[in-house]
Amino acid sequence: MNLIRFALRKPITIMVVVAGLLFFGISAVRKIKIDIFPSLDLPVMYIAHPFGGYTPDQMETFFGKQYVNILLFVNGIKTIETKNIQGLTLMKVTFYPGTNMAQASAEMSAASNRIQAIFPPGSNPPFIIRFDASTLPVGQLVLSSEVRTNNQLMDLANLYVRSSFTSIPGIVSSPPFGGNIRTVVVKVDPELLRSHNLTPDQLVEALRLYNQTAPSGNVRIGDKNYITPTNTTIRTVAEFGDIPLYKGNGVQNLFLRDVAVVEDGADVTTGYGLVNGKRSVYLSIAKSADASTWEVVQNLKKSIPRMQSTLPDDVKLSYEFDQSQYVMNAVKSLVEEGVIGAVLTGLMVLLFLGDARGALIVILTIPTSVIISILFLNLLGQTINIMTLSGLALAIGILVDESTVTIENIHQHLDMGKPKALAIWDACREIAFPKLLILFCILAVFAPAFTMEGIPGSMFMPLALAIGFSMIASYFLSQTFVPVLANWLMKGHAKAAAHTDTQELKRALSEREDSNQDGKISLFERLRTRFLRFINRMMPFRRPIVIVYLLVSTVLAGLLLNHIGKDVLPKVNGRQFQVRLRAPEGTRIERTEEKTLGLVGIIKDITGNENVAVTSAYVGQHPGPFSVSPIYLWMSGPQEAVLQVALKEGFHADLDELKEKIRKRTKAAIPDISLSFEPIELTDKILSQGSPTPVEIRLMGRDKKTNELYAGKVIEKLKEIPYLRDVQLGQSNKYPAVNIEIDRTRASQLGVDVVDISRSLIASTSSSRYTDKNIWVDPKSGNSYLVQVLVPESRMSSIHDISEIPVLKGQSRPVLGDLATITPDTTYGENNNLGALPVLSVTANLNEKDLGTAQKAVQEAIDSLGELPRGLTVQLIGLSETLTSTLDSLEGGLLVAIVVIFLMLAANFQSFKVSAIVLATVPAVIVGSLILLLLTGSTLNLQSYMGIIMSVGVSISNAVLLITNAEELRLRSGNALSAAYESASLRLRPILMTALAMIVGMIPMAAGFGDGGDQASPLGRAVIGGLFTSTFAALFILPLVFAWGQGKTSIQSVSLDPEDEQSKFYIPGKTN
Strand stretches in 120-180, DSSP E: 127-131, 139-145, 171-173
pLDDT for the residue 724 = 94
852 or 519, which is more confident: 852
Instruction: Name residue 729's beta-bridge partners.
Output: 842
> CB within 8 A of 283, min separation 6: which ones?
140, 141, 143, 157, 161, 162, 173, 174, 175, 176, 177
- Residue 861 host element (H or E): helix 851-863
Instruction: Report the residue count for the chain.
Output: 1072
Instruction: Evaluate if residue 560 carries a pLDDT over 70.
Output: yes
Q: Which helix (H) or strand (E) holds 117?
A: none
How would you classify residue 910: left for phi > 0, otherwise alpha for psi between -120 and 50, otherwise beta?
left
Rounded-to-integer distance, Cα 699 and Cα 711, Å: 7
User: Which helix (H) or strand (E) segment is 342 a member of?
Assistant: helix 324-353
**Gap between the Cα atoms of 438 and 436, Å rounded:** 5
Q: How far apart are CA 718 and CA 935, in angstroms?
A: 29
| Pick from 92, 30, 975: nearest CA to 507 | 975
Over residues 82-111, mean pLDDT: 90
Going by pLDDT thresholds of 50, 70 and 90, the confidence category of residue 684 is confident
The crossing angle, in degrees rounded to 10, of helices 922-935 and 542-563 is 40
pLDDT bin (cut points 50, 70, 90) of residue 334 is low
Burial of residue 205 (CB within 10 Å: 0-12, 13-18, 19+) is middle
Among 840, 922, 900, 909, smallest CA distance to 875 is for 840
Can you tell me the distance from the alpha carbon of 1071 to that of 571, in angstroms, rounded to the nearest whole number? 67
Handedness of CA 749, 755, 758, 761 (dihedral sign): negative
Angle at 162 between CA 185 and CA 116, to 5 degrees: 65
Average pLDDT, the chain: 85
- CA separation for the pair 1021, 1063 (Å, rounded): 48
Confidence of residue 155 (pLDDT cuts 50, 70, 90): confident
Looking at the DSSP bridge assignments, the partners of residue 131 are 44
Spatial distance between the Cα atoms of 969 and 967, rounded to a whole number of angstroms: 5
Please give the Cα distance from 369 to 18 (Å, whole number).
10
Separation in Å, CA 618 to CA 592, 593, 766: 10, 9, 22
pLDDT, tens digit, 9 for 90 and up, residues 931-940:
999 999 889 9
* Beta-carbon contacts of residue 559 (< 8 Å; ≥ 6 apart): none
Whole-number pLDDT of residue 517: 42
Of 922, 999, 1002, the C-alpha closest to 960 is 922
Which pLDDT band holds residue 14 (cuts at 50, 70, 90)? very high
- String of b and e for 104-141 (b: at least 16 CB within 10 Å)? beebbbebbeebeeebeeebeebbbbbbbbbbbbbbbb
Q: Amino acid identity, residue 272?
A: Y
Q: Whose CA is closest to 417, among 515, 482, 508?
A: 508
Q: What percent of the chain has pLDDT over 70?
A: 94
List of domains in the chain: 2-31+327-492+538-568+884-1045 (1.20.1640.10), 36-135 (3.30.70.1430), 182-213+234-269+736-827 (3.30.2090.10), 574-680 (3.30.70.1430)
Residue 442 · residue 952 · CB < 8 Å: no
Place 917 in a pLDDT band, splitting at 50, 70 and 90. very high
CA distance 424 to 341: 26
Q: Which residues pair with 695 in a beta bridge?
A: 844
Please give the helix or strand (H or E) that residue 400 lies within, else none.
Answer: helix 386-415
Q: Which of 487, 485, 484 is nearest to 10 (CA)?
A: 484
Residue 317's DSSP bridge partners are 143
What tens digit of pLDDT does each residue of 771-805 get?
A: 788 888 888 878 888 898 888 888 888 888 888 88
Task: Tell me: pLDDT of 518 over 90.
Answer: no
- What does the DSSP assignment read for 1022-1069? HHHHHHHHHHHIIIIIHHHHHHHHTTT--SSB----TT-TTBTT--TT
What average pLDDT score do residues 3-12 get? Answer: 89
Q: How far apart are CA 105 and CA 110, in angstroms?
A: 9
Asked if 95 and 132 touch (Cβ cutoff 8 Å), the reply is: no
pLDDT tens digits, one per residue of 476-498? 998 899 899 988 988 776 554 44
The answer on pLDDT for 282 being more than 90 is: no
Mean pLDDT comparison of 622-631, 638-647, 681-690, 792-801, highest-scoring range: 638-647
